[in-house]
Chains A and B, each alone.
Chain A
């Protein structure tokens, strides 16, 4: 082999062209030597290691492999055990008790105890931590730890969604000792299936299997994640078998995957939704009829077909399959330009108006395209849109200040509608200043949904909520897209889920 290679190289020297090919050839051989390592790629890297602070999509995907929360949601969004093997609400809904898995161990070998749970849930609400998820846990009054495997949360009011909130890696359990030492963000000691051996930000991560993981043995010995910022390059790397598994964002790239015989595309509808946010505090969006006119003038399916190549599903405000209403039942989900024009003239804007729509460059990749389709559709009712694409942070800054007429956004979804929307559509919502619209109906529907424990009644409450929200049209919900992962066909065992989690990589195996 070595001789062969040398001869190949020597003959290559005579002809630079061949030399190049030889050089590339030698390194292009798929790295099969250690078959138990999964080679993975994504275009955006994690931004930090503190599970309580990180909210970026890729950070969560990485941290879910390292840390574990008390519970998880599965592919059908049902709560399943993680560190906790069982949980129980008290009758009045104000006490929540968890039994921990005695086998659960951190990467450093220490067992996960109720003290760690208590410390973690004291850290999250502490304002000094700066955890964005704090708002979800404000109802926790106190925590009892009767024994090392039992934790009792005392709530100030009944709070059903808190269980879903606890399934998030933002509510991961970290060692109490690490909290005291202040090293949570730097050392990444969790109880999850993989240990982080090396992190080279914006370049790569090396993960190795946690042999002590309570969930059993992992399918691979390790994962190497490369950051390839250009998704076309990811596809190219998969074609040459350098990469076995990849996360893709851009539907334009993802749809090319099935054309390769050796590759498989996994897609799953996600909870996040593409939306055109109107700012009802700005004229003329203050007018209900104007907002409704905009809603009627937009052909959501066409936005989806053009910007996303039809990859997705038109949606109303609720994206959780078990709760969502059929969109065709919602207000003006069938395009009606005549009605839109009618509404415009009733509102006194027969001649239309001008407004600016903001979007973030590449976040989502379809943002600019969505804006352009909407711009062209709204032009038909005399609304002249100016598109302003901004760098993500600049956009976020403007968005948080509510400093826009309209905004193209991809907002994250949660497994529970209350957790998902209380920030916007309650009177006390943290992001009321972004949503800029609230009425008593919405607020009271949210409060009812929060405390109601009967699933059927909850569903009815949220159906009303969705219908009302679509009708008052503070935002124009467009569609939900897919979460894409691409893999070589010899990778088995990956289960895509609507939350986008890659947790099932823990059970993935590489077939020879």
Chain B
């Protein structure tokens, strides 16, 4: 409990660090909300017009004043108003988040359902041809850039079979589960492909390590069958690295998958941030990056808690 409190106490520190970095960085990028809105037409503005628009977008003060205002707003639970959406930043983020979360969960599910058995298979067939096949497949999976995979999937399905999940209007899970799943299954496969490959590799090597541990020998000496040894004794011990990897990947996925969202036209967090950067929607960039960082830290914390649940030897607070 105290450990949890102490971990949570670090959160604000890291978040302030993240916010300062993003605050300064986004303002160092040439161009601002005015050029984003007007493009080259911004050159037609008179100085007074420019000033008026600066006030409108809230970018008329030095950055530290802006930061101070923003931080004060944050303390009141207000992440500011997005200049492109004209809505509170938090509201926009929370609209997009369910999709990102669902996509991340779905990808992880695919990765674990495919990766763990494949890894176990590769470990138990280590010196056999079939095991090698799984390993090579995993490496190929890991080495395919996801945009190539996404484009290939879309092209093959649409040109070859004339089917494609509904693009454009995205249906949340609670409105139309079937349509929702249809829209997310391909992106999830795209993201889950490399993810599954990593899981396969890591579970294979973890299984190989664990299979040479003493307690596996003990289990065998008790007359536990090969299958029992693998699934009951070895696998639970091999899960720690799998959880670590899945946690990190999942944490990254919660930050949005920019390229995949772009290709499949999914309104997720990744595209939200990308568009916000391109449109110089400072409040939105800050809010979204902060939100993503927060999620990332929560996931890390959950991973640590998962360790404790998986392995009674691990105590919180010890590395």
Contacts and interface: CB of A to CB of B under 8 A. Distances in A.
- Answer whether A and B are interacting partners: yes
Interface of A: 20-21, 23-28, 31, 39, 41, 47-48, 53-56, 127-135, 185-186, 200-204, 224, 226-230, 232-233, 235-237, 239-240, 242-243, 391-394, 396-400, 409, 411, 423, 430-431, 433-434
A396 B189 CA distance: 38
A392 B38 CA distance: 11
Interface in B233-263: 262-263
B164 A24 contact: yes
Contact of A242 (B49, B167, B267, B278): B167
| A-B residue pairs, 8 tightest by C-beta | A226-B168, A393-B31, A236-B158, A27-B182, A397-B30, A127-B48, A130-B53, A55-B41
A22 B163 CA distance: 10
A397 B48 CA distance: 18
A247 B182 CA distance: 25
A42 to B, nearest CB: 10
9 contacts: A23-B182, A55-B41, A127-B48, A134-B49, A240-B162, A392-B39, A393-B31, A400-B35, A431-B40
B128 to A, nearest CB: 26
A132 B42 contact: yes
A433 B43 CA distance: 9
| Residue of A132, A229, A243, A391 contacting most chain B CB atoms (<10 Å) | A132
B264 interface: yes
Contacts, number: 189
B84 A132 contact: no
Interface of B: 29-32, 34-46, 48-50, 52-53, 56, 84-86, 151, 154-155, 157-159, 161-170, 178-179, 181-183, 185-186, 262-265, 267, 271-272, 275, 278-280
Contacts of A227: 168, 265
Contacts of A200: 267
B30 A398 contact: yes
B279 A47 contact: yes
A236 B165 CA distance: 10
Given A55-B37, A55-B38, A228-B168, A236 B159 contact: yes
Contact of A26 (B86, B170, B178, B186): B178
Given A134-B46, A233-B265, A396 B39 contact: yes
A423 B52 contact: no
Contacts of B38: 53, 55-56, 132
| Residue of A21, A28, A204 contacting most chain B CB atoms (<10 Å) | A28
Contact of A134 (B29, B44, B162): B44
A186 B154 contact: no
Contacts of B186: 24
Given A130-B53, A132-B42, A204 B169 contact: yes
Contact of A41 (B32, B167, B179, B272): B167
Contact of B39 (A31, A56, A233, A236): A56
B221 to A, nearest CB: 39
Contacts of B30: 393-394, 397-398
Nearest to B259: A230
Nearest to A25: B163
B253 to A, nearest CB: 19
Contacts of A55: 37-39, 41
A245 B181 CA distance: 25
A79 B56 CA distance: 35
B165 A27 contact: yes
A396 B154 CA distance: 33
B43 A423 contact: yes
B51 to A, nearest CB: 8
Nearest to B82: A201
Nearest to B151: A232
Contacts of A39: 168
Nearest to B159: A239
Contact of B157 (A24, A47, A185, A242): A24
A396 B31 contact: yes
Given A23-B185, A27-B165, A47-B279, A132 B155 contact: no
A38 B178 CA distance: 23
A341 B36 CA distance: 40
Given A132-B45, A242-B164, A393-B278, A53 B169 contact: no
Contacts of B267: 200, 202-203
Contacts of A128: 48-49, 52
A130 B32 CA distance: 15
Contacts of A127: 46, 48-49, 52
Contacts of B37: 47-48, 53-56
A127 to B, nearest CB: 4
Contact of A226 (B86, B165, B265): B265
Nearest to A48: B37
A430 B43 contact: yes
A498 B9 CA distance: 60
Contact of B164 (A54, A135, A237, A399): A237
Contacts of A131: 49
B132 to A, nearest CB: 25
Contacts of B84: 47-48, 201-202
B40 A27 contact: no
B263 A233 contact: yes
A133 B38 CA distance: 10
Contacts of B179: 26-27
Given A48-B37, A55-B37, A127-B48, A434 B158 contact: no
Nearest to A128: B52
B169 A226 contact: yes
Contact of A229 (B29, B53, B164, B265): B265
A62 to B, nearest CB: 14
Given A130-B45, A242-B168, A397 B31 contact: yes
A396 B42 contact: yes
Nearest to A433: B43
B87 to A, nearest CB: 9
Nearest to B263: A230
B158 A237 contact: yes
A391 B30 CA distance: 10
Contacts of A242: 164, 166-168
A230 B262 contact: yes
B163 A430 contact: no
B212 to A, nearest CB: 34
A26 B279 contact: no
A226 B170 CA distance: 10
B279 to A, nearest CB: 6
Contact of A399 (B40, B56, B158, B162): B40
A226 B154 CA distance: 17
Contacts of A27: 165-166, 178-179, 182-183
A399 B35 CA distance: 11
A28 B31 contact: no
B167 A233 contact: yes
